[in-house]
Chains A and B, each alone.
Chain A
Amino acid sequence: MVGMIFYCSWINNKIVTRGYRLNELRQAEKQLIEEQDKLEAELATLKSPRNLARLARRLGLREPRPGHKMVLP
C-alpha cells in the first residue's frame, strides 16, 4: 500500500517535471520559429528585385540580352 502511494507520487512528480520541460522546449521552439520568421523577412527584403538590381548595378552587371540565356533540356 505504502509502496503504491510512493510509486504514484513519484509518477505524478515525473509528469509535472516533464510538463515543465515540455513547456520550456515549446517556448524555445516558438522563439526559434520567431527568429526564423524575422530572418526570412530580412532575406526577402535583401532578395527583393529592386535591391538586387541596385547591388548588381554597383558591381557593374547588366541584364542579359535576348539569346544570352540558354535553357538546358
Chain B
Amino acid sequence: MKKRTKRESTDERRRLRQRIGLVAGVVVFSLVAVVARAYFLQVVKHDYYLARQQSQSNSSRLVHYERGEILASDGGALAVNIKGKSLYAEPRRVKDKKRIAKGLAPILKMKVSSLERRLRGERGFAWLKRSLTPAQVEALQPWCKQEPGLAFSKEDRRIYPNRDLAGQVLGFTNIDCQGQEGLERYYEEYLRGCQLYVSMEHDAKRQVVESSQSAEYDHLKGKTVYLTLDRRVQAWAEQELEAAVTESRGKGGVALVMNADDGAVLAMAQYPRFNPNSKRKNNPALWRNRAVTDLLEPGSTFKVFTLVAALESGLFKIDDLIDCEEGKFKVGRRTIHDTHEYGLLRLDEVLKYSSNIGCSKIVDRIGAERFYAVLKNFGFGSNSGIDYPHEPSGRLRSWQKWREIDLCNIAFGQGVSATSVQLVAAYAALANGGHRVTPHLVAKIVNGAGWTVYEPPAKKSSRACSAKVAQQVDRALALVVEDDGTAPQARIPGFRVVGKTGTAQKFDFAKKSYSHKDYWSSFIGYVDPPKGQSRKIVYVMIDEPRSSIYGGMVAAPAFQRINRHLVSYLNYASQAEFATLTMPDYEEEEAGCSVAENGGERVENLTGNATPAANVMPDFTGQTIRDALVIIGSYRRSVKISGQGRIVAQNPLPGTTLEPGLDFVFQLSSESSEI
C-alpha cells in the first residue's frame, strides 16, 4: 500500500513538473514571441510604422495669413479684416440632396437648382455660399449639426469702415481677399499675407492635439499701408464736391487736395461716390477713380502755363501789353473769341480776365517749340508717376505736328489733355517755387515688426520753371479772385487766395466737334499758409454742370468752402484777425485775451505773433496762461507750465528784458501736473 502510494506520488510530481514545464514553456515562448514581435515592429519595421503613424495622426493645412490694413495719415482705419463664415458641403457625404437644397435655398437666398448643381456628384468639396451674414449663420447652425457633409469655414472678409469715404481710391478685393482695384490692387504685393502649410497632430477622433501655428505670426501677415490721405480733409472735399455737383445739377465731379512741396495727396474725392463694401450693388463705372484715370481738356486752367512760357522765354515782361482785339481774332480761317471785348491787357491781366486772344498772341510770338518745351517741363504729355493703377499719359502731340490754330488752341487749354492729378501736380510745381513733384497716396508701408519697408521716392529735383517766374505767376493768379476777375467767389476774407478758373468744352465724339452744351468747369488754386507750411493745392472739377457753365460760378465756391475747412483745420492765422488784433497794454489796463470781432463772433487770437509794447517781461501774476502765451509769443523757445488755474509765479521775473529764444516757466495756482 505504502509502495503504491510512493509510486503514485512520484508520478504525480512528475506530471506536475511536466505541466509546469509546459506552462512555463508556453509563457516563455509567448514572451519571446512578444519580444520578437516588438523587436520586429519597433526595430526592424521602425521607419515604416513611424511613417504610417505620422500619416494618420499628423496633417498639414494651408493657412492664408491676414491681409495688411490700410490706414489714413492719422492712423484711422480705412481697410481692415474681420472673420466671416462661409458654408461648404462635401457632396459625397450629403445624403438627401434635394431636401437639403430646398431647405437651404431660402436661407442662402439662392435658387434650389443652383444649390442642387453644387451638391451634385461625388466631389469632396463644394462652396455653397461665402461671406454669410450673422443671421444666415444662425439659421444654418441646426443644418450643419444634423446633416453630415455640411459645415462652416472661417474666412477673412475685407471691410471698409468709413463706407464710401475715398471708395474709388481704396478700390476693393475679391472674395479671396486679393486686390482687384485701386490701392488694394496697386499695393497687392505688400498687402497680401503669406501662405504657409501648418502641421497639426490629431487624436483618434481627429481632434487637434498640437499645432505648429503660433500666435506670434505678425511677420507673416500682410504689411500695413499708411496713406497720405487725411480722413477729415477727404470728408470735407467729398461733402463740398457733392454740394457743388448737386447745386449745379452736374453729372459728377472730382476734387483734389495736394501738398505742393512733396506731392502728398491729402484728399482725392469723387462724386458720385462708391462704397467698396457693397461693390456688387454699384455700377462698375463708379469703380473708376476719375481723378487718375480720366483725361480731360484743362481749358483756361492751362493758360497759366502759357504765361509761364512767356516769362521763361524772356520775350515778355509781366507788365507788357497785349492787344486783345476787342474780343475777335482771326487765325487762318478760324476766329478766336473772348467772352468779353478786351482791348490792351497787361500780361497778368490776360490771366485775370482769361483772354483766349491774349494767350494766342503770346504763343504766336514765343513759338511752338519753346512752348512745347515748357509744357513738357511741367510733365504734360506723360504720367505723373502717382502710385495708382491705370494712369494714362496725358495727350500732348509733338510740336512739329501742330498747325497754327493748334498752337493757339493749346495756349488756352484745348487740344491738349491731362488727368486731374497731372494738372494738380503741374500747379504744385508753380506753388512750390518751380520744383516738379511726384504725386503719391502712400506715405509708408510698415511690416509686422514695425519696420518701414517702403517710402515714396524722394522729391524730384528737376525744375519746371524758375523761382522768379513762379513768383510772378503767383502774383498774377492772385488777380483772378479780385472783384473784377473771373472768380471772386473763391476769395476767403482775411486770406490771400490765388487760383484759376477753367471752363472747357467737352468733345462730342458723335458729332466730331466740341459740344456747346457739355463742359468741364473747374477751379484750381491755393490759400497762402503761414510761413513754414506747405501750400495745399485744391482742385475742383464739375462734369457737365447745368446751372452755369463757368468754373468761377460752379467750382470756385466749392474750392472756397474746402479751403475754409482747411484754414480752420490747419490753424492758418487770418490776416483780418491780425489787422484787428489790439494787444493789451499791460501797464495801464488788466491784461486779457485779445479779442477780434469776426463776423459777429468772438475770436480769441492765440497765434502767438504779438509783441509786447516794450521788451520787458510783464508781471503775469493772477492772469491766465492763455494771456501770457499771447504776449510772449515771439520770444518763446519753450514754455513749461505746472499746475492749473491762474499764474502765481513766473520765470523770467517781471521787468527782465525779453529777447527771442527764451525759455519760460509758469507756475499756476494749484499744483497738479506738469504739461
Interface residues, chain A, with chain B CB atoms under 8 Å away: 16, 19-20, 22-23, 26, 29, 34, 37-38, 40-42, 44-45, 47-50, 53, 63-73
Contact yes or no, A44 B80, CB < 8 A:
yes
Residues of B within 8 A of A16 (CB): 203, 209
Residues of A within 8 A of B573 (CB): 66-67
Smallest CB gap from A53: residue in B: B235
Contact yes or no, B605 A45, CB < 8 A:
no
Known contacts A41-B82, A63-B568; A68/B604 CB under 8 A:
yes
CA distance A19 to B276 in the complex (A): 42
CA distance A49 to B78 in the complex (A): 12
Residues of B within 8 A of A66 (CB): 494, 567-568, 571-574, 577, 603
Smallest CB gap from B492: residue in A: A66
Residues of B within 8 A of A71 (CB): 571
Interface residues, chain B, with chain A CB atoms under 8 Å away: 76-77, 80-83, 159, 161-163, 165, 201, 203, 207-211, 213, 215, 231-232, 234-235, 239, 494, 565, 567-568, 571-574, 577, 596, 598, 601, 603-607, 626, 629, 636, 638-639, 641, 675
CA distance A53 to B573 in the complex (A): 24
Q: In the complex, which of the residues A22, A23, A44 contacts B161, with contact meaning CB atoms closer than 8 Å?
A: A44
Contact yes or no, A23 B209, CB < 8 A:
yes
Smallest CB gap from B209: residue in A: A19
Contact yes or no, A70 B209, CB < 8 A:
no
Instruction: Give A37 Cβ to nearest chain B Cβ, in Å.
Output: 5
Instruction: Give A22 Cβ to nearest chain B Cβ, in Å.
Output: 7
CA distance A25 to B638 in the complex (A): 51
Q: In the complex, which of the residues A19, A47, A50 contacts B210, with contact meaning CB atoms closer than 8 Å?
A: A19
Residues of B within 8 A of A69 (CB): 568, 571, 606
Interface of B is mostly: mixed
Smallest CB gap from B230: residue in A: A49
CA distance A26 to B80 in the complex (A): 22
Instruction: Give A63 Cβ to nearest chain B Cβ, in Å.
Output: 6
24 A-B contact pairs sorted by A residue (CB < 8 Å)? A20-B209, A22-B210, A23-B211, A26-B211, A44-B76, A44-B162, A45-B161, A45-B163, A48-B163, A48-B231, A48-B235, A50-B165, A50-B235, A63-B568, A64-B568, A65-B601, A65-B603, A66-B568, A67-B598, A67-B603, A67-B607, A69-B568, A70-B606, A73-B638
Contact yes or no, A49 B165, CB < 8 A:
yes
Residues of A within 8 A of B494 (CB): 66
CA distance A44 to B603 in the complex (A): 33
**Given A66-B568, A67-B606; 9 other pairs, CB 8 A cutoff:** A20-B207, A23-B211, A37-B80, A37-B81, A44-B162, A49-B165, A65-B568, A66-B577, A72-B675
Smallest CB gap from B596: residue in A: A67
CA distance A50 to B242 in the complex (A): 13
Q: What 9 A-B pairs come out closest when comparing CB atoms?
A: A44-B161, A49-B235, A44-B77, A19-B209, A48-B162, A70-B606, A45-B161, A73-B639, A19-B210
Residues of A within 8 A of B207 (CB): 20, 23
Count, A-B residue pairs, CB within 8 A = 104
Contact yes or no, A26 B215, CB < 8 A:
yes
Contact yes or no, A70 B626, CB < 8 A:
yes
Residues of B within 8 A of A50 (CB): 162-163, 165, 235, 239
Instruction: Give A8 Cβ to nearest chain B Cβ, in Å.
Output: 14
Q: In the complex, which of the residues A23, A48, A73 contacts B208, with contact meaning CB atoms closer than 8 Å?
A: A23
Smallest CB gap from B156: residue in A: A37
Residues of B within 8 A of A34 (CB): 82-83
Q: In the complex, which of the residues A38, A41, A49, A65 contacts B232, with contact meaning CB atoms closer than 8 Å?
A: A49
Instruction: Give A52 Cβ to nearest chain B Cβ, in Å.
Output: 9
Q: In the complex, which of the residues A37, A42, A48, A72 contacts B83, with contact meaning CB atoms closer than 8 Å?
A: A37
Most chain A CB within a 10 A radius of its CB, from B210, B598, B605: B210
Instruction: Give A48 Cβ to nearest chain B Cβ, in Å.
Output: 4
Known contacts A50-B235, A65-B568, A73-B636; A40/B77 CB under 8 A:
yes
CA distance A49 to B591 in the complex (A): 38
Most chain B CB within a 10 A radius of its CB, from A19, A29, A34, A66: A66
CA distance A38 to B211 in the complex (A): 25
CA distance A67 to B636 in the complex (A): 19
CA distance A73 to B633 in the complex (A): 11
Known contacts A26-B215, A41-B82, A67-B577; A47/B598 CB under 8 A:
no
Residues of B within 8 A of A29 (CB): 215
Known contacts A41-B161, A48-B161; A19/B201 CB under 8 A:
yes
CA distance A20 to B201 in the complex (A): 10
CA distance A38 to B77 in the complex (A): 12
Smallest CB gap from B203: residue in A: A16
CA distance A8 to B483 in the complex (A): 95
Instruction: Give B590 Cβ to nearest chain A Cβ, in Å.
Output: 20
